[in-house]
Structure 1
Amino acid sequence: MPKTRETVLEIDLGALAHNYRYLRSKVPENVKMMGVVKAFAYGSEAGEVAHKLSELGIDYFAVAYTSEGIALREAGIKDPILVLHPQSVNFESIIEHCLELSIYSEFVLKEFIKSAEKLGIKEYPIHIKLNTGLNRLGFVEKELEMIFEALSNTKAIKIKGLFSHLAASEDWREREFTLGQIGKFRTMARLFMNALNYKPILHLCNTSGIINYPEASFDMVRSGIGLYGFTNDREIDKQLKPVGTLKTIISQIHPIEKGETIGYNRAYKAAGTMKTATLPIGHADGINRQYGNERAGVFVNGQFAPIIGNVCMDMLMIDITGITCDEGDEVIIFGGPQPATKFAEKGKTISYELITGISQRVKRVIKPE
C-alpha cells in the first residue's frame, strides 16, 4: 500500500486469512470455529473482519455486548452471533436481531425466560455458561438442578450450546489446573446431556486452548486474539501474521539546543544538540503515557526513534537525531519492524490491551487479501 499521509490503523485481511487457516488446521475438520470479534474485532474493524471470516468459512461469531452484535447484523452478517455478556435490558433487542446469548446466572436465566414468554417465543437458542474455575461468569455444578427445573417449566428457550472458559491455557505451569477445568466441563456437560433429549454444541477452547489442548476441542473452538496475529507463545506467534499496523506521519521537525526541555512538565531535557519530530498521535488515540520518556519508540524510515518526554493527548515527540527524514514522512508505531507485542512490553502491558485501545478516531484502512 502507498505510504500514509495521516494517522491510520491498517487492517491486513490477508494476514487475517492466514491466521484463520493456521488455527483451523489445528483442530479436527468436524469441529466448528467461532471467531471472537468483540471490541471492534480487537481494535481493528469488526464489519470488515467478520465479512472476511464469513467468506473464509467461519461457523459462528462472538461479541461481548448486544450493541456489538446488532452492529454486525446491520453490517450484513447473517451467521450465528453469540453475545457473551448480555444484560437484561437488552433482551428484546437480542431477540429482534436474532442473536444468541450466554446465560450465566439464575437472574439472567429467569429474566430471559420472562422476556421470551412475553413475546411468545418458542425454543429461543441460548448457550449456558459454566464456571469451571475462572470465577468470572457462569453456573457452578450445584446450580444445575435449578436450570433443569427452569427448563422443564418453559418452552421459550432451548439450549443450543454449553461452554466455559479456560483460565490459564497458555501457561504450562498451570497444566494441572487446566486439565481439571477440562474434566469439570466434561462432567457438567454430561449432566446436561443426561437431562436433555438432545446434544448441545460444546465449546471450551480459546486460542491457547486450540494450540495446547486440541483434545479438548469438543464441537467448537473459539479464537479471538489468535485471529489477529498473537498468542501467548512466541514460537506460535512466528506462525501468525499481525493484522494491524499503526502508522502516522511527522508533523514538524525541531532543532533542539543543549539544555532545552521538551513537552509537558519539561519531562525531557536535551543533553546536547538534537532533532525531534512531533507526531499527530497521543494518549487519546491509545498510545498512553506509559510509553513516553524513552520507554518505547517508533520506526522512521527503518530506524528506531525513542519517544521522549510525556505523551500528550493528541501528539507525542520522538528523537530523530541522526535519522534522515522530512516532515510528512511515514512513521510506524507498531507492526512491521515492531510487532504490537514488543511495543506493549515496553509499556509493561500486553498486546490485547494495546490493540483494543486504539481510539475509534484513528482512521481504519483495509488492505484486501
Structure 2
Amino acid sequence: MPKARETVLEIDLNALEHNYRYLRSKVDQTVKMMAVVKAFGYGSDVVAIAKKLTGLGVDYLAVAYTSEGVSLRKAGIELPIMVLHPQSYNFEEIINNCLEPSLYSEFVLKEFIATAKKLKQKHYPVHIKFNTGLNRLGFSEKETGTLKELLTGTDAVKAASFFSHLAASEDWKEREFTLEQIYTFKRIASQLVDALGYRPLLHICNTSGILNYPEAAFDMVRTGIGLYGFGNEQQEDQRLQPIGTLKTIISQIHELQKGDSVGYNRAFIASKPTKTATLPIGHADGINRQYGNGRAGVIVNGNYAPIIGNVCMDMLMIDITGIECEEGDEVIIFGGPQHATAFAEKGNTISYELITGISQRVKRVIVEK
C-alpha cells in the first residue's frame, strides 16, 4: 500500500473474507449466517462491507435502526435485512423498503401488525426476540401465551425467526449462565413452534457463541465483531484479521526545551529537551481524550511514540524524541503493528467502542488485492 498522505481508515476486504470463512467453518454448512453491519459496518464502510459479504454468500444482514437498512437498500443491497431495534414510528418505512423488523414486546408487535394490515400485507416476515437473560429487549417466557395469540390471530405477519442474545458467551466463568440461556431459548421456541404449526429459523449465537458454543448454532448464527477481526479473547484474535488500519501523518515537528509545555492546559511540560510531532487527528475523529497524557501511543516508522498532553478536537501531539522521522511521514494509530484491542485497553475501553467511534469525516480507503 502507498503511504498515507492524510488521515485515513484503510479497510481490507481480504481480511473480511478471511474472517467470514473462518467463522463459517465453525458451524455446519447447513447453518445460515447473518452478518451484523450496524454502525456503518462497525465503523468501517457499510456499503463496501455489505457488497463483499453478498458476494461471499452471506444469508442475512442485520442493522440496528431503520435508517441504516434504508441506506443499504438505496445502495442496491437486495439481501434480507433485519432491523434489530426498530421503532413503531418507522414501521411503514420498514415495509416500504422490504426490511424485516425484530419485534421484542407486545406493544411493538401489535403496532407492526396494525401497520402491516393497513398496508395490506400478508405473511410479512418478522423476527421475534426473546429475553433469556440479557435484559435489554425481548419477550419474557411468561409472555409466550400472548405471543401465540397475536401470531396465530393474524395473517398479516409471519415469524421468519425466533432469536435471543447471549449475555456473556465470551466469558467461561459465566458458562452456566450461558447454557441456561440456551436451554431457556430452546424451551420457549419449542412451545411456540408447536402452537404455530411451522418452524421459523432459530438463532442465538453471536461471534463468541459461534466460537464457544457451536452446538447452539441452531438454524442460523449472527456475527458482528468477528467479521471485523476481533474474537473477544486473545487466542481468537490471533486467528482473525482486523480489517481496519487507522493512519495519519505528521503535520509539524517541534523542538522543546526543558520547561516548555504542549497543548491545552499545559498538560505536558518537558522535563528535558524533547522532540514532538503534531498529528491531524483528534477527539472529533474518535481518538478521545482518554488516550492522552501518555496513556496510549502510536507507531512512527516502526517505533512507539506516546501521546502527550491533552488530545485536542482535531489534533494530538506525540513524543518522537529519538525517532528518525520527518513532517509528512505516515503514522499508524491502530492496525498492523498495533492491535486495536491493545490501543483500546490503554484508554480503559474495548475494541467495539474504539472502532465504531471513528468519525465519518475520516476518509475510508478500500483495500482489496
State the TM bucket, normalised to the shorter chain.
over 0.9
Which residue matches 1:168?
Answer: 168
User: Structure 1, residues 337-364: CA drift from partner, whole Å, max 9, x if none?
Assistant: 1010000000000000000000000000
What is the letter of the counterpart of residue 353 of structure 1? E
Which residue matches 2:361?
Answer: 361
User: Structure 1, residues 24-63: CA drift from partner, whole Å, max 9, x if none?
Assistant: 0000010000000000000000000010011011010000
Q: After the TM superposition, which residues 80-91 of structure 1 pair with which residues of structure 2 at under 5 Å, given as runs?
A: 80-91=80-91
What is the letter of the counterpart of residue 46 of structure 2? A
Kept in 1, the 8 Å contact 2:152–2:196? The answer is no
Q: After the TM superposition, which residues 124-273 of structure 1 pair with which residues of structure 2 at under 5 Å, given as runs?
A: 124-273=124-273
Which residue matches 2:27?
Answer: 27
C-alpha distance in structure 2 between counterparts of 1:142 and 1:210, whole Å: 28
Tell me the percent identity. 72
Q: After the TM superposition, which residues 113-128 of structure 1 pair with which residues of structure 2 at under 5 Å, given as runs?
A: 113-128=113-128
C-alpha distance in structure 2 between counterparts of 1:150 and 1:301, whole Å: 62
User: Structure 1, residues 265-316: CA drift from partner, whole Å, max 9, x if none?
Assistant: 0000001111100000000000000000000000001100000000000000
Q: 2:15 is paired with a residue of what secondary structure?
A: helix
**TM-score normalized with structure 2 length:** 0.99
What is the letter of the counterpart of residue 354 of structure 1? L
**TM-score normalized with structure 1 length:** 0.99
Instruction: Please say which of residues 159-168 and 146-155 is displaced more in the overlay.
Output: 146-155
Kept in 1, the 8 Å contact 2:298–2:332? The answer is yes
Q: 1:349 is paired with a residue of what secondary structure?
A: coil
What is the letter of the counterpart of residue 350 of structure 2? I
C-alpha distance in structure 2 between counterparts of 1:152 and 1:254, whole Å: 72
C-alpha distance in structure 2 between counterparts of 1:360 and 1:132, whole Å: 35
Which residue matches 1:104?
Answer: 104
The Cα of 1:197 is off from its aligned counterpart by 1.6
User: Structure 1, residues 241-267: CA drift from partner, whole Å, max 9, x if none?
Assistant: 000000000000001010101000000
The Cα of 1:4 is off from its aligned counterpart by 0.8
Which residue matches 1:323?
Answer: 323
What is the letter of the counterpart of residue 3 of structure 1? K
C-alpha distance in structure 1 between counterparts of 2:87 and 2:292, whole Å: 38
Kept in 1, the 8 Å contact 2:166–2:205? The answer is yes
C-alpha distance in structure 2 between counterparts of 1:352 and 1:339, whole Å: 13
Q: 2:86 is paired with a residue of what secondary structure?
A: coil
What is the letter of the counterpart of residue 316 of structure 1? L
C-alpha distance in structure 2 between counterparts of 1:152 and 1:299, whole Å: 59
User: Structure 1, residues 153-194: CA drift from partner, whole Å, max 9, x if none?
Assistant: 211100010000000000000000000000000000001111
C-alpha distance in structure 2 between counterparts of 1:231 and 1:17, whole Å: 15
C-alpha distance in structure 1 between counterparts of 2:241 and 2:303, whole Å: 22
Give the length in aligned residue pairs: 369
What is the letter of the counterpart of residue 165 of structure 2? H
What is the letter of the counterpart of residue 138 of structure 1? G
Q: 2:160 is paired with a residue of what secondary structure?
A: strand
Which residue matches 2:7?
Answer: 7
C-alpha distance in structure 2 between counterparts of 1:310 and 1:181, whole Å: 44
What is the letter of the counterpart of residue 184 of structure 1? T
C-alpha distance in structure 2 between counterparts of 1:74 and 1:248, whole Å: 31
Kept in 1, the 8 Å contact 2:340–2:354? The answer is yes
* Regions of 4+ moved over 6 Å: none
Unaligned runs of 5+ in 2: none
Instruction: Please say which of residues 182-191 and 142-151 is displaced more in the overlay.
Output: 142-151
What is the letter of the counterpart of residue 204 of structure 1? I
The Cα of 1:139 is off from its aligned counterpart by 0.3
1:351 equivalent to 2:351? Answer yes
Q: 2:193 is paired with a residue of what secondary structure?
A: helix
Q: After the TM superposition, which residues 37-48 of structure 1 pair with which residues of structure 2 at under 5 Å, given as runs?
A: 37-48=37-48
C-alpha distance in structure 1 between counterparts of 2:319 and 2:249, whole Å: 14
Q: 2:290 is paired with a residue of what secondary structure?
A: helix
What is the letter of the counterpart of residue 287 of structure 1? I
C-alpha distance in structure 1 between counterparts of 2:271 and 2:212, whole Å: 49
